[in-house]
């Protein structure tokens, strides 16, 4: 397939959606859930997403002839993965807080 080199994706739109959004984004979402489920902080999300973004760049390079060492597209992938991880973290942490401290809502406090 022909490379499109836009501001957001280097490879085709569908390759970007498959690798970055669906595969790596799904892994990022599950990572965010896992971090929240063991009550770790958001700093862990950043560390793990830096590594996952590097792996995502490698998949673009190995399978779709993307650029391996492109800072611009690494940052784009990192932003997408951080968004997915924070969504997973937030949903899980909110459910934990409701389960753990739900009595505060029922009693009218806060």
Q: What is the pLDDT of residues 15-60, one digit of tens each?
A: 889 999 999 999 999 999 999 999 898 899 999 999 999 999 999 8
Each domain of the chain, given as residue ranges in start order, spans: 13-106
pLDDT tens column, 8-22? 777 788 888 999 999
Q: Note the pLDDT of residue 25.
A: 96
What is the chain written as a DSSP string?
------SS-SS-HHHHIIIIIIIIHHHHHHHHHHHHHTT--THHHHHHHHHHHHHHHHHHHHHH---TT-HHHHHHHHHHHHHHHHHHHHHHHHHHHHHHHTHHHHTT--
Q: Read off the pTM.
A: 0.85
């Amino acid at each position: 397939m022909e490379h499109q080199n836009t501001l957001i994706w280097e490879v085709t739109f569908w390759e970007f959606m498959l690798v970055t959004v669906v595969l790596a984004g799904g892994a990022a979402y599950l990572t965010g859930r896992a971090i929240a489920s063991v009550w770790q902080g958001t700093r862990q999300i950043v560390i793990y997403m830096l590594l996952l973004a590097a792996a995502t760049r490698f998949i673009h390079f190995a399978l779709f002839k993307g650029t391996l060492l492109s800072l611009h597209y690494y940052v784009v992938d990192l932003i997408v993965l951080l968004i997915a991880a924070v969504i997973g973290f937030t949903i899980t942490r909110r459910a934990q807080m409701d389960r753990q401290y739900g009595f505060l809502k029922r009693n009218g406090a806060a």
